[in-house]
């Protein structure tokens, strides 16, 4: 539900109709990346705070400065907040805006992947490591070479290779990288440098990771998202085109690339045969939630599949004060996903 409609919402009624409730209420959390490590669920969200920044379309009010890790023994159990796992002050290259992270594991080491604005105001992606899934994490002294934009998601393939997916429009700066170099031209418009409506939409990126998961093993490649006719989705197709919140999971031999459409507030997915794509648009996973943003992850737990997402119901619609939730998703026989409505009629 876009922010302009929140003044008309009865939040007591909305929360009764919600298909799930916030997993934690002691802090505001968003952008949940969920994984199962050693039989336990770990969620790596953003930590929303009210920093007093004015609302704008570049996301300046999303002034997060640290990460907490949330764990659950099972999908029905109480969620536990393990406290600060990494703070921006402990990341030498980062200045501000610790936005949506992800995590993964290899050979007993846990890796936290996160975007932040560097001291030059450009978003980069960093890595921090720990011997525990709950941290604390120690950041690498520099961002990943060749990284840019936001919303890293790291997928482990069955052959043991790892791939990072990333990118975000508007405040995520992806549109500023169209030439391969950062466009530093001064503008307050979030839609500056975007393609025209009848041109192909900007694409997210993927890069295979090095064996130590600390760098890209290759130059990032764009991920093609196609319609049923094999054509790239257009920039004006804003109910289907990629905006931010990349995620990849595998189901029944197929790769599912899911993402947020941003200003139209849907979580959508596309299906392909390779971690690199191309991916053909498949439909919507989640209809709009209360609050401007929508950001998710998909995780298998005990042979069922779950969507971890957020909304702003706990904060009564405050866009940058969100709460992580979880709901089961189901697949049809043909592999398509049944769309969830976050609130019952």
Which amino acids are annotated catalytic? 31, 244
Q: Decide: 177 and 205 in contact? Cβ < 8 Å.
A: no
Q: What is the dihedral of CA 281, 286, 287, 288, to 10 degrees?
A: -110
Q: Decide: 31 and 310 in contact? Cβ < 8 Å.
A: yes
| Of the candidates 102, 104, 75, 100, the residue with the CA atom closest to the CA atom of residue 305 | 75
Find the DSSP H helices in the chain: 11-17
Cis peptide before 136 (omega within 30 of 0): yes
Sequence-distant (6+) residues with CB within 8 A of 340 are: 19, 285, 286, 287, 307, 327, 329
Which residues pair with residue 301 across a beta bridge?
A: 304
Which residues pair with residue 250 across a beta bridge?
A: 255
Burial degree of 7 (CB within 10 A; 0-12, 13-18, 19+): exposed
The total number of residues shown for the chain amounts to 345
Sequence-distant (6+) residues with CB within 8 A of 120 are: none
């Amino acid at each position: 539900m876009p922010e302009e409609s929140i003044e008309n919402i009865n939040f007591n009624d909305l929360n009764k109709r919600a298909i799930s409730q916030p997993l934690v209420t002691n802090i505001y959390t968003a952008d949940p990346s969920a994984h199962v490590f050693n039989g336990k669920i770990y969620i790596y969200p953003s930590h929303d705070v009210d920093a007093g920044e004015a609302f704008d379309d570049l996301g300046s009010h999303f002034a997060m400065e640290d990460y907490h890790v949330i764990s659950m023994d099972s999908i029905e159990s109480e969620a536990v907040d393990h406290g600060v796992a990494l703070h921006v002050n402990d990341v030498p290259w980062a200045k501000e805006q610790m936005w949506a992270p992800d995590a993964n594991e290899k050979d007993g080491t846990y890796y936290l992947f996160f975007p932040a604005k560097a001291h030059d105001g450009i978003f980069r992606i960093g890595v921090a490591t720990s011997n525990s899934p709950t941290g604390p994490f120690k950041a690498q002294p520099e961002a990943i070479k060749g990284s840019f934009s936001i919303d890293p998601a790291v997928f482990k393939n069955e052959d043991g290779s790892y791939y990072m997916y990333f990118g975000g429009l508007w405040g995520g700066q992806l549109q500023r990288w169209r030439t391969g170099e950062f466009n530093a031209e001064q503008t307050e418009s979030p839609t500056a440098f975007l393609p025209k409506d009848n041109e192909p939409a900007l694409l997210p990126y993927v890069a295979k990771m090095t064996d130590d998961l600390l760098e890209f093993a290759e130059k990032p490649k764009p991920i093609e998202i196609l319609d049923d006719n094999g054509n790239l989705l257009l920039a004006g197709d804003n109910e289907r085109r990629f905006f931010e919140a990349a995620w990849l999971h595998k189901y029944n031999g197929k790769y599912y690339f899911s993402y947020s459409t941003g200003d139209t507030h849907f979580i959508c997915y596309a299906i392909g045969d390779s971690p690199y794509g191309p991916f053909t648009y498949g439909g919507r996973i989640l209809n709009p939630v209360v609050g401007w943003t929508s950001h998710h992850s998909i995780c298998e737990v005990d042979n069922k599949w779950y969507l971890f997402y957020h909304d702003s119901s706990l904060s009564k619609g405050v866009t940058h004060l969100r709460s992580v939730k979880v709901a089961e998703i189901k697949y049809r026989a043909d592999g398509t996903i049944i769309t969830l409505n976050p609130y019952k009629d």
